[in-house]
């Protein structure tokens, strides 16, 4: 389909900061009769009108994500339909005529999924849609299983309750490539958000055979996940010995995680009742994010006086998982995303060696801001380690590439933000898979009289001590974006000047396309003592993120070194 460039310029690009043009777009929405009650309530608020109408919610590398509400810079049915029409054009341009759709428990997720299905079906695209909430990784699996051209999942992952999103997947089950995202964005931008987008009712779509249920993919997925257990005899003989407390945080992980663990033999499983059922308001947590300590408050209260070995928490779309593990003193302490990933990396290598299932060309993938402990583990085990940019889409792309050229056999991939994957039948981080492997690993160590914290200490003794910290600074709105750009420019200008007294051995600017990776807005500073600092804007939230890493002789030394880097960073930002 030829793209009308004038429309793209008019509708797709960021609007000027001129308030008259912003107010004109606001008035156009009022005149059209959409969201009138909500929009009339902000009639006297210039900041609110500006934020909602200063720009179109952009279609980034993963799709859309924003606050639910009226306006072109919000998640709503009009914006979803506009994006889906752009996607439908892209599908038809490339000869693909089928799509899978899933959605999580967030507010409006089911409605946005229905809106997407209505538009795709109206364009003659056959849609396979789950009839109830499902984790994001199950969508990834379904796309591959159905050999669909694309997939959509309605989720904002771990964002606050006010948000929702629209993620698009390619035929390989991974998030669409940057090139595909740009193409979809260009087609989307040719449509006025208030124009009439073609759609048909779900009832008519079902009658015509354009809409089909996708639930049949469930059992196939569960069998695949259970097949990933490495020490099958161990699990068969001892699984009930592991005491597990699980919270899905009102999200989509409740049924899948419990089913996989239950069918694998982990019968000693309890659930945090207050957080068991779907609820898009996430009333029991400030943020439904297993990275945040507050997420575990209710679970830790329930665990008091009990003998749970581990506590698991998954985010709303069940692609991330957090862990609190019992210590020898009987208390519970969190494991960071880096620590969980390092433990799983070492466990899978060791277990597969023991069972004779480790491929000769096995490889591990991590992102450039993920712990360097993984590199040490892989080096000592003669396992290849490959780095990608931040974002699991890049890990998925690597897996797909290896399937084509057989350079490596994918063993394990992870990122510091609590995302893990083993095997390639899913092409995104998967908390259901991670839950099964974490429980197997915890069971193995328990049978050998160790806690997961004991196992972590043993890992440090064997491979060397590391410590990492993540500092996120929220900077919202247009002014926030200017500040983020200013900070990135500062780090690019002269890294050594920013770090007086430090022996800087390299300042890597990934915007130049380092190491054959796609260009990315990331700067990583490497120091002579193996410590490092990386800075990048978030791709999904109005944040700039700083990653700190250190290596040393013991826990105290690496913690102190991270503290020094954090102090230097605080000084720079102030």
Closest CA to 134 of 240, 74, 221: 221
User: Any bridge partners for residue 415, and if so which?
Assistant: 419
Whole-number Å distance between alpha carbons of 478 and 515: 32
List residues bridging with 313 in a β-sheet: 247, 322
In whole angstroms, what is the distance from residue 39 CA to residue 521 CA?
Answer: 35
Active site residue 157: yes
The single residue of 140, 157, 243, 252 carrying the catalytic annotation is 157
Q: What is the per-residue DSSP string for 471-507?
A: EEEE--HHHHHHHHHHHHHHHHH-HHHHSTTS-EEEE
- Measured CA to CA, the distance from residue 234 to residue 441 in angstroms comes to 10
Burial class (CB in 10 A: 0-12, 13-18, 19+), 113: buried
| φ, ψ at 167 (rounded to 5°) | -105, 140
What are the beta bridge partners of residue 246? 271, 312
In whole angstroms, how far apart are CA 218 and each of 18, 101, 112, 131, 258? 50, 14, 22, 11, 13
Distance CA 218, CA 130 (A): 10
The distance from CA 19 to its chain's CA centroid, rounded to whole angstroms, is 35
Structure tokens at 362: 């096995």
Neighbours of 41 (CB within 10 A): 11
How far apart are alpha carbons 152 and 140 in whole angstroms?
Answer: 9
Contact 53, 80 (CB under 8 A): no
DSSP E strands, 419-474: 419-421, 465-474
Element (H, E) at 454: helix 452-463
Single out the residue of 292, 298, 236 nearest to residue 267, CA to CA.
Answer: 236
With beta carbons less than 8 A apart as the criterion, state whether 321 and 139 touch: no
Evaluate whether 251 touches 105 at the Cβ level (below 8 Å). Answer: yes
Sheet bearing 362-367, strands edge to edge:
384-388, 362-367, 409-415, 419-421
**Token representation of residue 515:** 């190491």
Q: Are 251 and 156 in contact (CB under 8 A)?
A: no
Taking Cα atoms as reference points, which of 537, 559, 534, 528 lies closest to residue 547?
534
Cα–Cα dist 76/397, whole Å:
30
Stated as kind and residue range, the H or E segment containing 65 is: strand 63-67
Point out the residues that are catalytic.
157
């Amino acid at each position: 389909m030829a793209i009308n460039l004038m429309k793209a310029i008019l509708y797709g690009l960021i609007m000027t900061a001129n308030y008259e043009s912003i107010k004109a777009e606001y008035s156009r929405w009022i005149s059209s009769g959409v969201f009138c009650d909500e929009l009339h309530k902000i009639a006297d608020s210039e900041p609110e009108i500006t934020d909602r109408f200063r720009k179109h919610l952009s279609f980034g590398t993963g799709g859309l994500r924003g606050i639910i509400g009226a306006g072109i810079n919000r998640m709503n049915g009009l914006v979803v339909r506009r994006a889906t029409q752009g996607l439908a054009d892209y599908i038809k341009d490339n000869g693909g005529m089928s799509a899978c759709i899933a959605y999580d428990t967030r507010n409006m997720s089911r409605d946005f999924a229905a809106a997407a299905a209505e538009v795709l079906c109206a364009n003659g695209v056959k849609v396979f849609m789950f009839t109830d909430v499902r984790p994001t990784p199950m969508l990834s699996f379904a796309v591959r299983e159905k050999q669909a051209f694309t997939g959509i999942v309605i989720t904002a992952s771990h964002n606050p309750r006010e948000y929702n999103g629209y993620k698009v997947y390619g035929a390989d089950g991974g998030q669409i490539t940057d090139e595909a995202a740009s193409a979809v964005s260009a087609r989307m931008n040719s449509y006025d958000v208030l124009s009439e987008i073609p759609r048909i009712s779900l009832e008519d779509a079902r009658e015509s055979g354009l809409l089909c249920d996708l639930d049949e993919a469930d059992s196939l997925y569960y069998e695949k996940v259970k097949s990933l257990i490495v020490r099958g005899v161990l699990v068969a003989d001892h699984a009930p010995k592991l005491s597990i407390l699980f919270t899905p945080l009102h999200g989509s992980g409740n049924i899948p995680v419990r089913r996989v663990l239950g069918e694998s033999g982990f019968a000693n499983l309890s659930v945090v009742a207050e957080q068991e059922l779907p609820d898009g308001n996430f009333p029991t947590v400030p943020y439904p994010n297993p990275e945040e300590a507050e997420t575990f408050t209710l679970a830790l209260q329930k665990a008091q006086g009990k003998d749970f070995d581990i506590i698991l928490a998954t985010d709303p779309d069940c692609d991330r998982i957090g862990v609190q593990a019992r210590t020898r003193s009987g208390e519970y302490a969190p494991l960071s995303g880096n620590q969980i990933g390092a433990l799983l990396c070492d466990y899978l290598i060791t277990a597969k060696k023991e069972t004779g299932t480790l491929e000769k060309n096995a490889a591990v993938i991590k992102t450039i801001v993920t712990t360097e402990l993984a590199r040490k583990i892989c080096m000592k085990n003669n396992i290849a380690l490959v780095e990608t940019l931040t974002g699991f889409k890049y890990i998925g792309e690597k897996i797909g590439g290896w399937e084509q050229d057989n350079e490596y056999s994918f063993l394990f991939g992870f990122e510091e933000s609590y995302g893990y994957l083993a095997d390639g039948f899913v092409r995104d981080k998967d908390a259901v898979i991670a839950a099964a492997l974490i429980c197997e690993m915890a069971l193995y160590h328990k049978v050998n009289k160790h806690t997961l914290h004991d196992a972590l200490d043993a890992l440090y003794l064997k491979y060397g001590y590391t410590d990492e910290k993540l500092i996120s600074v929220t900077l919202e709105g247009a002014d926030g974006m200017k500040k983020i750009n200013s900070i990135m420019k500062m780090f690019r200008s002269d890294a050594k000047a920013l770090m007086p007294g430090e022996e800087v051995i390299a300042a890597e600017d990934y915007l130049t396309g380092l190491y054959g990776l796609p260009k990315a807005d990331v700067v990583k500073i490497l120091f002579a003592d193996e410590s490092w600092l990386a800075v990048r804007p978030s791709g999904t939230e109005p944040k700039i993120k700083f990653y700190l890493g250190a290596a040393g002789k013991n826990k105290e030394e690496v913690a102190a070194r991270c503290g020094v880097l954090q102090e230097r960073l605080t000084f720079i930002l102030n």
